Amino acid sequence: MNTVKFIYPLFGHIADDWEGCSYDIGSEQLTDYQELLEEKMNEYQIDNGKGMEQYFYDNPDIESKLESIVWGFEIFDNKLYGVTTVELAEPIDEDEINELREWISGQNSDGLGEGFEQQDFDVDEGRLSVSLWDFHDYFIYTQEEMDEYLEQSGGINICQ
């Protein structure tokens, strides 16, 4: 089995109805909610017993190799990131990796991500919502690219 991970920043928001305020939270604070987010994401992405791979129709060559596509969360350099793990029956080339990257980015901004973002989760501080995409400071890296990014920025890869 061949695995390709795609990693991207998360953007959080907490609305506190009691205090009448709301505020953005960074990926450092989102680490506190990793378990909750993983639970909610696992519930959200299964449809009729199938995962998100059922919605990939962009390239028949990739589709024929595709085993699963699973969204989740991991900590790198003390920050919570979104991670989409793609399991493939056979290796894919760089062009196919970029096609998957674009499809995942589209899902993060319009499909799965937009729907997931519109869900509020009750937390002690209020209602938490998390976006998998943002037009500011957004990237989507493979595991190797993320390792390079962390190395260049002085961070240490502490992937869980």
**pLDDT per position as a tens digit, 27-58:** 999 999 999 999 999 888 877 667 888 888 88
128 three-class SS: strand
Long-range contacts at 98-107 (CB < 8 A, ≥ 24 apart): 99/58, 99/59, 99/62, 100/4, 100/6, 100/62, 101/6, 101/140, 101/142, 103/56, 103/58, 104/6, 104/8, 104/69, 104/140, 105/8, 105/133, 105/140, 107/52, 107/55
The answer to whether 44 and 119 are in contact (CB under 8 A) is yes
Residue 134: pLDDT above 90?
no
| Residue 115, φ and ψ in degrees, nearest 5 | -65, -40
Whole-model pTM: value is 0.89
